[in-house]
Amino acid sequence: GPREALQFRPGEPRVERGRPQAFVDGLGHYLFSLPAKLALLSWRIENHDVSPETEAALIEYLDANELCHVKVRINQYAPGGEWSRLFRNREVRGFWRYTFGFLTVVSYTILPQRVFGGDNFNPFTNTISIYSDLPPVSQHEGGHAKDFAERDWKGAYAAIRILPIVPLYQEGVASGDALSYLRAE
């Protein structure tokens, strides 16, 4: 419930932006994101230059869905912050946080998404990471946050992504909600 929700620490901003790093962002934009750019036919996918409009669209979506405890990292690599959020997130039971959640944060730490890409929502840290300058992509990640917020067994729901077909279902839920929101707005 709301008492279990992962709170922001005093003075901790809801949204954090990474400082521009030309070499790192260039690797991510011009090299590692090429398959995603081709698959989605957009040069703005994982371009590491997220506009204020894309940020605002995500925050509006989160606010409209009362997702006030979701951390948003825009083109930021913050392993210390993610480890802290993993250990403090009581919305996900300890077994899941210290197994699957631990692996997600190890992966985040060793293979920085800032370089290797991948807009995503991490349910174990309740964090959305955005690297693409496309409002619908950011809102899709918000759709994942909403999907998980509505689940009683968040850790199990996150862990079953390793099974075939399950990721397609979860992606469909997130996309469907984001599209419904966009149509209504």
Q: For residue 123, which amino acid is it?
A: P
Helix (H, G, I), strand (E, B) or coil at 17: strand
pLDDT at 31: 94
Kindly compute the dihedral angle of the four CA atoms of residues 82, 87, 90, 94, in this order, to the nearest 10 degrees. Answer: 120
pLDDT digits (tens, 9 = 90+) for 83-137: 999 999 999 999 999 999 999 999 999 999 999 989 999 999 999 999 999 999 9
Specify the residue for token string 């800032």: 114
For residue 2, pLDDT over 70 is answered with no
pLDDT score of 185: 87
CB contact at 8 A, 7 and 69: yes
Residue 1 has pLDDT above 80, yes or no: no
